[in-house]
Structure 1
Amino acid sequence: MTVFGFHASHEQVPPGELLAAVVRAEQAGFTAAMCSDHFSPWSVRQGESGFAWAWLGAALQATGLSFGVVNAPGQRYHPAIIAQAIGTLGSMYPGRFWAALGTGEASNEHITGERWPRKAHRNQRLEECVGVIRHLLQGEEVSHDGLVTVDRARLWTLPAEPPALLAAAMSTATAEWCAGWADGMITVAADEDHLRRMISAYRDNGGRGKVCLQVHVSYHSDEDEAVRIAHDQWRTNVFAPPFCWDTDTAEAFDQAAEHVRPESMHQAVRISSDPARHAEWLNSYAELGFDAIYLHHVGQEQAEFIDVFGEKVLPQLKVSSPAH
């Protein structure tokens, strides 16, 4: 049985509308949720970027769902502040919150004015941040001098049980590396051979906990409109690393995507007007061994997607609820 969750995209939907959408998603049968944590959208057309941590408190209160967030500590966020945020949500909503930690993207992190480090440096910085966050969540006083600096930090509000710290991974090299420190892993949909290798790279190197997948989908009752939505909203997200890591403004992403054709969107987004086709794709991902799959409808209007998937797609899936 696989958990099928709703992905809340802060860079596309205003936070109030996004809160209403996640409430609707729970009512439709989604059993979990997660959200992005960006300072900038991927394109000017997306046009939003609400503060995830403020929204998460409201979303956890408004629903009974478990929630996760993908976060990049170390530059835009000091790890002690992220530990405090994780600890507070974990204290308020026991067993319902997790955080996936990654090395981030320049589009969000450049705002500090610090240089954007190379990937090896970012990996090292992330590993230091994970250590700081773990020690703080265990109630320890932490001082640290390295790629991040911490002076005698201590969390005074602690959860009964520290929330899981997953790793956000895109490559098998990262999946192998993060197996040494993560409580689980989340990745993004790709071809099935790559996803099998991702799971193997994590599990074969001692990776523990759940393995999760985020799937970008575009649904509309009209097939051409489903393609148009994907092309309008998500064509700036077809670029592989390191381009997507190192490009630093929404305008630059838009310029780079000027020549992305609508038909090319099928490489990055599952696009169909047929709910049965979406169910077939999602069942094939579940069969690979993912414990949780989070669905991101790449359009800004979420209601039709939620209602149709609740009525016609989720009943075709073996859906389970996360264990709290």
Structure 2
Amino acid sequence: MTNFGYTLMTEQSGPKDLVRWAVGAEAAGFDFEVSSDHFSPWLTEQGHAPYAWSVLGAVAHATERVELMTYVTCPTMRYHPAVIAQKAATLQLLADGRFTLGLGSGESLNEHVVGEGWPGVVTRQDMLVEAVEIIRQLHSGELVTHHGQYFDVDSARIWDLPDILTPVAVAVSGDMSIERLAPLADHMIAVQPEAELVDTWNRTEGAERIGAGARAIGQIPICWDPDEKTAIARAHDQFRWFGGGWAVNADLPTPAGFAGATQFVRPEDVAESIPCGPDLDRIVESVSAYWEAGFTDIALVQVGGDAQERFLDEAAGPLLEKLRAAAG
């Protein structure tokens, strides 16, 4: 059975609105909710970047049923992994066991702000592996001292631990990242609907198989609106950055950089990759690529902070019915 989620996109809404959308998404019938964790929006037109962990704490108390997840947090530069371990344990307590810690190697857009530079992709992966190992050690409840290649932990213990251990999901993009991270994680995160990612994860020694305990969690942007032209214009205004791909998106440091990199992207280019307008069947067709690739969980991103309320009130329920019927 495929689970369908709603994205709390911190880049396009303020903190109080995000909590409102979270409550509305639960009422609409979504199975889970994921939150981005940004210091800056991708583009100035998006206009927001509240602190995701405060928002999630409020969401944990404002909701009752939906699972919650960071999608994703980088535990290597802006946050030390020991601090992430403490935050995740606290949020799991507040959420009564509904929280999954989603981790990734990060983007320069958010991580460069602490003034430590931006390492290359191999180093970022090395740092993520060490960070996950530290988080796992601290979630054991034991006193931890660690002196590694990138991080030091000195006599640290998490004092408030949940009875339900916080699951860890990791963002992967290919064979190398899967081989290193799958044995350390409970679940897989990926933003491309590629069956090979699921297959590689399931072939990796030490990894729990997707579909038999582990989950493959994807994400896809949509731009629902009763008027197709309005939807296309909004998607172009706020989501044209998406077309650069993660190899580019991980390295640009500022919204101004993304504006420059996407200055020649046309509205029709965005509409080719993001389903825009009122046609729910077209959205279902786009989302289907994920469950056909073996993904168990798919989070939708409704583009536009000012478009959330109407989407949740008018489109989310019928769309979820269609998605569940099509996914079987």
TM-score (norm 1): 0.93
2:255 corresponds to which of 245, 250, 257: 250
Aligned 8 A contact 2:275 2:282 in 1: no
Alpha-carbon distance between aligned partners in 1 of 2:114 and 2:187, rounded to the nearest angstrom: 29
Give SS of 1:50's match: coil
Report which stretch shifted further, 215-224 or 233-242: 233-242
Aligned 8 A contact 2:60 2:94 in 1: no
**Paired residue for 1:20?**
20
Alpha-carbon distance between aligned partners in 2 of 1:274 and 1:304, rounded to the nearest angstrom: 15
1:94 corresponds to which of 86, 93, 96: 96
Alpha-carbon distance between aligned partners in 2 of 1:241 and 1:8, rounded to the nearest angstrom: 20
**Paired residue for 2:153?**
150
Write out aligned runs for 1:194-273 (5 A): 195-206=194-205, 207-208=207-208, 209-273=214-278
- Structure 1 alignment gaps of length 5 or more: 320-324
Aligned 8 A contact 1:100 1:168 in 2: yes
Aligned 8 A contact 1:101 1:168 in 2: yes
Aligned 8 A contact 1:94 1:160 in 2: no
Q: Number of matched residues?
A: 315
TM-superposed CA distance for 1:259, in Å, is 0.7
TM-superposed CA distance for 1:202, in Å, is 1.4
**Paired residue for 2:211?**
none
Q: Say whether residues 1:127 and 2:129 are aligned partners.
A: yes
**Paired residue for 1:277?**
282
Bigger share in strand: 1
Root mean square deviation of aligned Cα: 1.6
Alpha-carbon distance between aligned partners in 2 of 1:253 and 1:157, rounded to the nearest angstrom: 40
List, as ranges, runs of 4+ consecutive aligned residues in structure 1 with deviation greater than 6 Å: none
Give SS of 1:318's match: helix
For residues 284-322 of structure 1, what are the alpha-carbon distances to aligned partners after superposition, in whole Å with 9 as ceiling and x for unaligned?
432332111111011122012222333321112328xxx
Query: Which residue identity lines up with residue 202 of structure 1 in the other structure?
Result: W
1:315 corresponds to which of 304, 317, 321: 321
TM-superposed CA distance for 1:244, in Å, is 1.0
Alpha-carbon distance between aligned partners in 2 of 1:307 and 1:44, rounded to the nearest angstrom: 27
TM-superposed CA distance for 1:162, in Å, is 1.5
Aligned 8 A contact 1:39 1:49 in 2: yes
TM-superposed CA distance for 1:260, in Å, is 0.7
Aligned 8 A contact 2:61 2:94 in 1: no
TM-superposed CA distance for 1:55, in Å, is 0.6
TM-superposed CA distance for 1:28, in Å, is 1.1
Query: Which residue identity lines up with residue 270 of structure 1 in the other structure?
Result: P
TM-superposed CA distance for 1:93, in Å, is 2.4
2:300 corresponds to which of 291, 295, 303: 295
Aligned 8 A contact 2:42 2:241 in 1: yes
For residues 168-211 of structure 1, what are the alpha-carbon distances to aligned partners after superposition, in whole Å with 9 as ceiling and x for unaligned?
123344234322211111111x4x5xx11111121221432111
- Structure 2 alignment gaps of length 5 or more: 209-213
What percent identity do the matched residue pairs reach? 37
2:143 corresponds to which of 121, 141, 144: 141
**Paired residue for 1:322?**
none
Query: Which residue identity lines up with residue 124 of structure 1 in the other structure?
Result: D
TM-superposed CA distance for 1:267, in Å, is 4.8
For residues 102-129 of structure 1, what are the alpha-carbon distances to aligned partners after superposition, in whole Å with 9 as ceiling and x for unaligned?
1101111111111211111111111111
